[in-house]
Structure 1
Amino acid sequence: MVRDMAEVQAKKTEREDRDIPVMKDFTSPEELYRELIKSVVRYHPSTDISMIEKAYQTALSFHEGQVRKSGEPYIIHPLCVAIILADLELDKESIVAGLLHDVVEDTPMTTEDVARAFSDEVALLVDGVTKLGQLSYSADKVDEQAENLRKMFLAMAKDIRVILIKLADRLHNMRTLKYMRPEKQKEKARETMDIYAPIAQRLGIAKVKVELDDLALKYLEPEVYYDLVAQIAEKRSSREQYVQSIVAEVKQHMDNAKIEADVKGRVKHFFSIYKKMVNQDKTLDQIYDLFAVRILVKSVKDCYAALGVIHEMYKPIPGRFKDYIAMPKPNMYQALHTTLIGPKGQPFEIQIRTYEMHRTAEYGIAA
């Protein structure tokens, strides 16, 4: 009964926390296609959608009669992959390749057919995704071998868009993993945690990386995952009130300092919390910085000005300040991180970055 309630709460929490839109099960292909076009036009109003329409009709025709483990028409999968790519604001060719990414492997259509019907560029993307799908991974590989496979994965893709399509493919497969056999679920989850999530991190695509990690944890450590869901849900209301009170206070001080800022709070993702518990050998009740406040401003100058305001408001914890603006991470991530003692004596983290830095943090190399 507790597990059932946790599963319901997990679905609710996943919907609330996701940065990338997720389509409900068994949405019709037509509805998904309309959603895809709406998303593409939103970020690229002048896009000629005729090639996307042609790719959709081609995939619909070649995948006709094929169904997924869920029982839904197979076309749902490439449509959802294309929607994820559109959310990452990729170009038209990537969207088209996302719609066609399984036709060479699963239908009579060849790479040459794709080139003739669309373009050499699209054919190369589809061929690259097909070849990456042929890499095998064994869950008993040691860390060094997993790292070698990650390097091979990156080296094989002549075009970085191939990897982005493959990440979108894996993300949708992880979202629908419940329809697979339990042993297959664990195999795919381990591969996701060892290969795909680290690659997403290496490319700086936080919004994909955190969801892959959370979904992998859900299938690798289900008891831990659902216990976390239940415990966080139990305290979510009071914690959110606390976070929002800090957000309001920070926003007021930013306004007083004439710093134009967007201030938001969030509970950290399940996998992030789980790692803290394991690394620090603590229970959830002993992990205090479960939430973070993010401040978005217009300029680097405003980042440091906002930091000064924050350090006047709350007591900073020594040794917990990181300047990733002066010293960016290898994946291009930039921000100021500081951990502070909140109004109730509870530590919390604040991240300060410009809007441009935020876009890079969320979309990484796709930006």
Structure 2
Amino acid sequence: MSDRKLVKLAKDYCYNYHEGQLRKGTKLPYHTHPIAVAEILDEFGYTDATTKCIALLHDVIEDSPVITGEIKEKFGYEIANGVYILSKNTINKEIIKQLDNSSQIDIKKLSPDQVYKFRLSFARKKVKRIKIADLIHNTRDLKSLSDRGIKKKLTNAKEFYIPLGKRIAPLMIKELEKNIVKYKKQQI
């Protein structure tokens, strides 16, 4: 399948599997988020088909009945693996056991959020960049979240995602930091 057709298929999946879903705190259709994430990556020059497909599909496993096997069958291993890594609901006892057996860290003592970050820290650069683009989009409209949600996003960005992305996507990190500063100035 050509890259163009693959990206079109990913966009179709994005529309179909997020049908009827809305962005948290807004009335926007949810598919606008993955599309915006792909566009952000495009703005920063990350234009390859694999990156676009993972960005368009990054919430499909989390938010719909689609499974990793279907993504792998339609899009191939690399895209399915990227989507899988970015899906928090794929953290289960089996994954924790696998990570625990391959790590010096006692994974069983970590929260699911910490396991997610641990797994992401070992992901390919393009997967990390997609997560940074996800946060860039999420921080453009923080006011639509609850105070607790905002605090969590800002803390996670400051403590984990900004340091994670400084070497692999410094311009994207500057954009993320700019969004956070802008939000904080609006709160004064």
Would you call these one fold, judging by a TM-score over 0.5? yes
The offset of 1:175, in angstroms, is 1.1
Bigger strand share:
1
Q: Does 2:56 align with 1:72?
A: no
Asked if structure 2 preserves the Cα contact closer than 8 Å seen for 1:167 and 1:196, the reply is yes
- Cα distance, 1:194 vs structure 2: 1.3
1:288-303 alignment runs, 5 A limit: none
**Pair 1:215-2:179 in alignment:** yes
What is the CA-CA distance between 1:217 and the residue it aligns to?
3.6
Is 1:61 the counterpart of 2:16 in the alignment? yes
Q: Does 1:136 align with 2:113?
A: yes
Give a deviation string over 1:179-201, Cα, whole Å, max 9, x none: 00122212211111111111121
Structure scoring higher RCO (CA < 8 A, sep ≥ 6) equals: 2
Alignment of 1:322-337 (within 5 A): none
Q: Is the 8 A contact 1:193 1:216 kept in 2?
A: no
In the alignment, the residues of structure 2 paired with residue 125 and residue 153 of structure 1 have an alpha-carbon distance, to the nearest angstrom, of 10
Structure 2: segments with no counterpart, 5+ residues:
92-111
Output the TM-score relative to the length of structure 2: 0.77
CA distance 1:132–1:174, change in 2 (3 Å)? farther
| Structure-2 separation of matches of 1:133 and 1:191 | 19
Helix, strand or coil for the counterpart of 2:19? coil
Residue 190 of structure 1 contacts residue 216 of structure 1 at CA under 8 Å; is this kept in 2? no
Q: 1:76 to 1:226 in 2, by over 3 A?
A: closer
1:88 counterpart (44, 55, 62): 44
Give how far 1:131 is off: 4.7
Q: Which residue type is aligned with residue 107 of structure 1?
A: S
Residue of 1, 4, 7 corresponding to 1:52: 7
2:154 paired with 1:197: no
- Report sequence identity in percent: 30
Give ranges in structure 1 of 5+ residues lacking alignment.
Answer: 1-46, 138-148, 229-367
Q: How many residues align?
A: 165
TM-score by structure 1 length? 0.41
Runs of 4+ in 1 over 4 A off after TM superposition: 131-135, 149-152
- The amino acid that maps onto 1:122 is I
The answer to whether residue 143 in structure 2 is matched with residue 178 in structure 1 is yes
1:160 paired residue number: 125
Corresponding position of 1:109: 66
